[in-house]
Structure 1
Amino acid sequence: MSSITADGIAVPSASPAGEQVGPLEQKHLQYANYRAVTDGVEISRTHWHIATANALGWGFDGMDGVIFALVSPMVIKEFSLTVPEYRSGLQIALFVGIAGLYFWPWLSDRLGRRTLLAVNIALFSLLMPVVALSPTFATFVVARSLVGFALNGEWSLGSMLVAETWPARLRGRVISATRSTWCLGASLAGGITGLVAANFGWRVAVMVPGVIAMLAIYVRATCPESPYWVRAQDRKQRISDTLASGGRVSDDDRAWFGKAKSVGIRQVFLPDVLPSTLVALFVACCSTCIFGTVGGWMPLYLATEKHWSTAEYSLFYVCWGIVGFLGLCVAGWLADKIGRRMAFVVMLIEGAIFITLWVYTENHVLLWVFGLAWSFGFLGFWGPSTTLTAEVFPTRVRGVANGVVWAIAYFVGFVLFPFVTVALQQHTGSFALSFLCIPVLMIAMAIGVMLLVPEHSGKELNEIIV
């Protein structure tokens, strides 16, 4: 059944689930880009706009983090800082960034995915020049904190929007493919730092990602709101109006409304959602612990223990990111073809084998070969990881649940676990043992995934949990 709007546009009078179309969805159905993503089967140009927007956001996330890592010696020198002073500033920025991991997805459960995705990308873009123009280190820390706060919401919102619009049969590979552009952004950061920072200084290099401000216009103009979120709001309003007028609703509607009318952290730990929360926390915390050591200490490890020059390490990082990009694309394809769990396991085992060989070899050529080989699985497993956390929660709390899970995971992996890494380095005088913890964690994660993670490949979101 269809109805005709005041503009003469035919829109369906019932949703794919068979429910009557609510007023909010009637409003969104007037726009072609929303209608293009409502059936959950056919691929349209709008689907590619959504994927592209998320991919660009991930790419600039990788560029942002790596640029700040590579220009850190210049920042320390310009502001006459000690390493502990600079570390303390970064820790402040990290904590503010963790708050952003929760805030933006939490807000998206109230205001929607699309608009907030555009807003926090725009904030990130506008704040990057503020960082570049910082006259003091205190200003630098404040601006860097705000950049992290804005940017850390982007990938959660983008992944949810992809998950809630793309067909289930393609969800894993599209989320993984868009996630893979983080690697390209990281590679590009190496080039920007080498060319721009070396010739014009770190301030100019930091300004380069600011051009992404135009992406906010692109997102707002081409990406629709999530049909899952729109229908949840209509259902909430329908039940609320019925109850307010003294009408009767079904037991299912009453139970759902009792949970959906107040979205908060407590919802994530209710009995019906708790199993998904625990699974997602396991995957997310393992992911951040595994990545934390490499992200924080690989440059120092290569420079001091493998005696690589800055130029060689920078080139390695570019290649490392490109191979990781390929790993993420393959992982996403595997996640849809053979299932989420097997894709996890294949990537984790491949990465664990080659990173172990990489740590033990002293041969210069093999350092390159094994190093690039382990990046394939090490970065590749993030595709199934972010796919699972984007799809495992019900729509009514998908945002806040992702915020809670990844905020906890970042705290565990990037704040607490580095103490273990540094303690091992201090005790042994080398980062070798710290890096050998990574394959142990990867194998443990592979076993845990096979035992604990349910298979969601090819399932519609409402088949996974409602």
Structure 2
Amino acid sequence: MSSTTPEAVGGLTRDVAPHPADVGPLEQQHLQSANYRAVADDSRITRTHWHIATANGLGWGFDGMDGVIFALIAPLVIQEFSLTVPEYRSGLQISLFIGIAGLYVWPWLADRYGRRTLLAVNIALFSLLMPVVALSPTFAVFVIARSAVGFALNGEWSLGSMLVAETWPARLRGRVISINRAAWCFGASLAGAITGIAAAAWGWRVAVMVPGVIALLAIYVRATCPESPYWVRAQDRKARVRVALQHGMPVSDEDRAWFLKADKVGLSQLFLPDTLPSTLVALFVACCSTCIFGTVGGWMPYYLATEKHWSTEEYSWFYVCWGIAGFFGLCLAGWLADRVGRRVGFIVTLLEGAVFLTAWIYTDSHLLLWLFGLAWSFGFLGFWGPSTVLTAEIFPTRIRGVANGAVWAVAYFVGFVLWPFVTVALQQATGSFALAFLCIPVFMVLMALGVWLWVPEHSGKDLNQISV
């Protein structure tokens, strides 16, 4: 059962082959699995690593399908239920607000019960709930069902990326998480195709049903992932120290201090002296990310439909191309994050997106709307790669789930619940989304400046070198 492990059980060293007697009881159980043994040895990349990456990518793909389909069908839902823009915004914000609970609950559970099982459960719930949305007879039922879908799927913001960060070698972590995040773009593109074909021909209800059916394929893939060696060893370390303390056995100062923090995981740990700087950096990055995306990502279809007079079919196919362009931006950002540094990956994509988004807002040319739109998606979506990598790696294993959940829950509330009030207020005051959209390049430039000044560089570092 011996294997080359990423860290000694309960310790901090890497690439040490422990004697079987040094392996904790929980890890001894997991070592019976070939998949677990494959990821416990990070000296080589195996099929199991790619299996985990695929599982995470599928989750982000469905998150992209979910978010974009609901954005694309917004004009159709508003029309069917005879809603005003503020009424639709209020319903959307209710569902987003309830969905915030999912951002925290799923990672909180992952810190207690492990990563792998929850990966399969949350995608299964998404698959079961999408048909409920499609069958909604009233807007109130639509909002309730949409809230349940959001609660289920919001676990994607943390679960899969944590498992990738805890199983893939440090030298590839930025690229793999960014490419996984880029699967969101393919999901968004597929959502555009689904809406362009299904919604245009048979209505928005059919378009909403399709992702739920496709998601059934992901359940098996996720259910067969191994557990995170980092999480397993943390549980063994807690059990070992707890038994020693209960029986009055000698415990090192390092183990005692670690146990006092790891035994009862809660929000208060985000504000301890050793984690507060990471918490503030992660909140800055996450809140900027959601405010930037929440405006344009949520309202672009309505803007193109009402102010640029694009048909449902055209803006749906625009989303297909927009998502594909964003995929390459995420891939570049991930490559830069690993080869040059996290901050460079952030800054290059943020500034590129800000320039072309500004040009897109000011143009009236139909051709330039397409060209500039595809150009700004490269950076606008690309910076999400380093953003997701940073929040997945910056916290210690003992609270990685809780911390990710709390940070993204706050960011979700700020960017997707509070900030839309500003967006719609500007639209109502000016009669156009142009001014609201112009706030976003400003956000992107300010975020790039903040990243340069405050974000630490973690490229190539083992997770335990970043924080324990």
Which TM class, normalised by the smaller chain length? over 0.9
Moved more, 16-25 or 237-246: 16-25
Match among 198, 201, 211 for residue 200 of structure 2: 198
Asked if the contact 2:4/2:40 (under 8 Å) is kept, the reply is no
Separation in structure 2 between the aligned mates of residue 327 and residue 93 of structure 1, nearest angstrom: 30
Q: 1:72 to 1:303 in 2, by over 3 A?
A: closer
Equivalent in the alignment of 1:98: 100
Match among 226, 236, 239 for residue 238 of structure 2: 236
Equivalent in the alignment of 1:219: 222
> What's the CA shift for 1:360?
2.0
The residue type paired with residue 368 of structure 1 is W
Asked if the contact 2:330/2:381 (under 8 Å) is kept, the reply is yes
Separation in structure 2 between the aligned mates of residue 439 and residue 67 of structure 1, nearest angstrom: 24
> What's the CA shift for 1:124?
1.0
The residue type paired with residue 462 of structure 1 is N
The residue type paired with residue 279 of structure 2 is T
Moved more, 90-99 or 45-54: 90-99
Asked if the contact 2:195/2:313 (under 8 Å) is kept, the reply is no
Deviations 1:253-279 (A, max 9, x none): 110000101111111111110000000
Q: How does 1:15-94 map to 2 (within 5 A)?
A: 15=9, 17=14, 20-94=22-96
> Which TM-score applies when normalising by structure 2?
0.93
Deviations 1:157-180 (A, max 9, x none): 000001100110000010000101
Match among 425, 440, 457 for residue 459 of structure 2: 457
> What's the CA shift for 1:432?
2.1
Equivalent in the alignment of 1:352: 354
Partner-residue secondary structure (3-state), 1:191: helix
Asked if the contact 1:11/1:30 (under 8 Å) is kept, the reply is no
Separation in structure 2 between the aligned mates of residue 32 and residue 396 of structure 1, nearest angstrom: 25
Separation in structure 2 between the aligned mates of residue 124 and residue 273 of structure 1, nearest angstrom: 33
> What's the CA shift for 1:84?
4.2
Structure 2: any 5+ residue segments left out of the alignment?
Answer: none
Partner-residue secondary structure (3-state), 1:248: coil
Separation in structure 2 between the aligned mates of residue 400 and residue 14 of structure 1, nearest angstrom: 24
> What's the CA shift for 1:11?
8.9
Moved more, 299-308 or 262-271: 299-308
Equivalent in the alignment of 1:155: 157
Asked if the contact 2:68/2:192 (under 8 Å) is kept, the reply is yes
Partner-residue secondary structure (3-state), 2:226: coil
Deviations 1:59-114 (A, max 9, x none): 11111112222223443444455544433332221111111001101111000011
The residue type paired with residue 437 of structure 1 is C
Asked if the contact 1:299/1:313 (under 8 Å) is kept, the reply is yes
**Is 1:365–2:367 an aligned residue pair?**
yes
Equivalent in the alignment of 1:431: 433
Match among 268, 271, 274 for residue 272 of structure 1: 274
Deviations 1:129-165 (A, max 9, x none): 2222334433332222111101000231000001100
Cα RMSD for the two superposed structures: 1.9
Equivalent in the alignment of 1:442: 444
> What's the CA shift for 1:446?
0.7
Asked if the contact 1:57/1:155 (under 8 Å) is kept, the reply is no
Separation in structure 2 between the aligned mates of residue 199 and residue 369 of structure 1, nearest angstrom: 27
Structure 1: any 5+ residue segments left out of the alignment?
Answer: 4-9
Asked if the contact 1:354/1:370 (under 8 Å) is kept, the reply is yes
Equivalent in the alignment of 2:290: 288
**Is 1:335–2:337 an aligned residue pair?**
yes
> What's the CA shift for 1:41?
2.6
Deviations 1:267-326 (A, max 9, x none): 111111000000000000111111111012212322333343333222211111110011
Partner-residue secondary structure (3-state), 1:152: helix
Separation in structure 1 between the aligned mates of residue 427 and residue 75 of structure 2, nearest angstrom: 21
Separation in structure 1 between the aligned mates of residue 131 and residue 467 of structure 2, nearest angstrom: 42
Asked if the contact 1:93/1:145 (under 8 Å) is kept, the reply is yes
Partner-residue secondary structure (3-state), 1:165: coil
Q: 1:330 to 1:264 in 2, by over 3 A?
A: same
Equivalent in the alignment of 2:406: 404
Q: 1:245 to 1:319 in 2, by over 3 A?
A: same
Equivalent in the alignment of 2:376: 374
> What's the CA shift for 1:213?
2.2
Aligned length: 458
Separation in structure 2 between the aligned mates of residue 125 and residue 305 of structure 1, nearest angstrom: 34
Equivalent in the alignment of 1:254: 256
Equivalent in the alignment of 1:389: 391
Q: 1:355 to 1:14 in 2, by over 3 A?
A: closer
> Which TM-score applies when normalising by structure 1?
0.94
> What's the CA shift for 1:437?
1.3
Equivalent in the alignment of 1:7: none
Match among 125, 134, 142 for residue 144 of structure 2: 142
**Is 1:178–2:180 an aligned residue pair?**
yes
Asked if the contact 1:456/1:464 (under 8 Å) is kept, the reply is yes
Percent of pairs with identical residues: 77
Asked if the contact 2:196/2:314 (under 8 Å) is kept, the reply is no
The residue type paired with residue 314 of structure 1 is S
Q: 1:328 to 1:249 in 2, by over 3 A?
A: same
Partner-residue secondary structure (3-state), 1:95: helix
> What's the CA shift for 1:232?
0.3
The residue type paired with residue 39 of structure 2 is V
